[in-house]
Amino acid sequence: MTDRATPNLPARDQDATIAFYAALGFTTGYRDAGWLILQRGAIELEFFNYPDLDWSTSSFGACLRLDDLDEFYAACREAGIPEATRGAPRLHPSQREAWGGRRAALIDPDGSLLHLIANTD
């Protein structure tokens, strides 16, 4: 196995987290009473229980570096996630960043910010 890192994000409700991410193509790789691992291809997101989380003040986040940013973004839109500037969940469209790459953003229902970064562009 190669070295890797997996982000640990909060989940107020595991069932709701599974349902949200399943609509984006994630499957459950592991689940117990306090931990959840979701997978989509080589991407793994790990979630810990945080039932009292105030999503509006959450500062949790991670970067998803994607070979096909546009495909993942389209899957988010097809799942009904709106492009908005407030609320959760929501999307922010991709844009070219000062460092030269392209980045979009997904805020999940628990307020976690997922930077969606194109691997090549």
Residue written as token pair 């409700």 = 13
| Strand positions, DSSP E, 22-112 | 27-31, 35-40, 43-49, 61-66, 90-96, 102-107
For the chain, what percent of residues have pLDDT higher than 90? Answer: 93
Q: What is the average pLDDT value for the chain, to the nearest integer?
A: 95
Q: Output the CA torsion sign for 82, 94, 67, 38.
A: negative
Closest to 14 (Cα-Cα) out of 111, 110, 115, 114: 110
Q: Which CATH superfamily is 8-51+59-118 part of?
A: 2,3-Dihydroxybiphenyl 1,2-Dioxygenase, domain 1 (3.10.180.10)
Alpha carbons 89 and 99: distance in angstroms, whole number: 27
Domain boundary assignment for the chain: 8-51+59-118
Q: Which two tokens stand for residue 35?
A: 């931990």
pLDDT exceeds 90 at position 105 = yes
pLDDT exceeds 90 at position 111 = yes
Q: What average pLDDT does this structure show over 115-119? A: 95
- Confidence label for 94 from pLDDT (cuts 50, 70 and 90): very high
